[in-house]
Structure 1
């Protein structure tokens, strides 16, 4: 799978962890996910389906602060369909080696986005 991350992802170890979680999700690398998820971790998916097995994934943004981390991007499946996603992670602590307590993921097919206006 082709995996592209934003150039700013190398700024902190936690950013790389978040990026690697996104890669593991996209490749359905359960072994890597289990290394980072607490045994009692919750993974909520909205609207309820978390596809895997993509041919390419691009991370547009990776952000971390304290115990939180997030990333968003786009993915192309084997059949060529495209989707947009965002993952929001909560780590058990601020330690570099802290496991993930929860993930909330939002996944939509590309083209289902609703453009919004920004009021000034």
Structure 2
């Protein structure tokens, strides 16, 4: 999968962690997601689960502060259709090695109304 991140993602370790979590979501890299998640972590997707299998994923913004981080972007499927997404991550602490406790995601096909 082709993956692009904003240039400023190298400004903090947490920004890179959030970007890599988004990449792992897009690639369905369960191992990476499990490595960074607490055993009882929750992940809620609104309005519901979305089939992945993306060929390209790019992040438009990555923001972190304290125990939280978020990112938004666009993912492209093999048929060329696009999905817009935003992920909000809650970490167990402010340490750069802190694991994810919860994630809330909003995933909407391009052109869809909520």
Please tell me whether Structure 1 or Structure 2 has the larger radius of gyration of its CA atoms: 1
Shift of 1:113: 5.2
Q: Which residue of 1 aligns with 2:65?
A: 65
Q: Work out whether 1:48 is the aligned partner of 2:18.
A: no
TM-score, normalising length: structure 2 = 0.96
Secondary structure (helix, strand or coil) at the match of 2:21 reads helix
Aligned length: 114
Structure 1 gaps of 5+ residues are: 115-120
TM-score, normalising length: structure 1 = 0.92
Question: Which ranges of 4 or more aligned residues in structure 1 deviate by more than 3 Å?
Answer: none
Shift of 1:50: 3.3
What value does the CA root-mean-square deviation take over the aligned residues? Answer: 1.1
Q: Which residue of 2 aligns with 1:90?
A: 90
Q: Which residue of 1 aligns with 2:104?
A: 104
Q: Work out whether 1:3 is the aligned partner of 2:6.
A: no
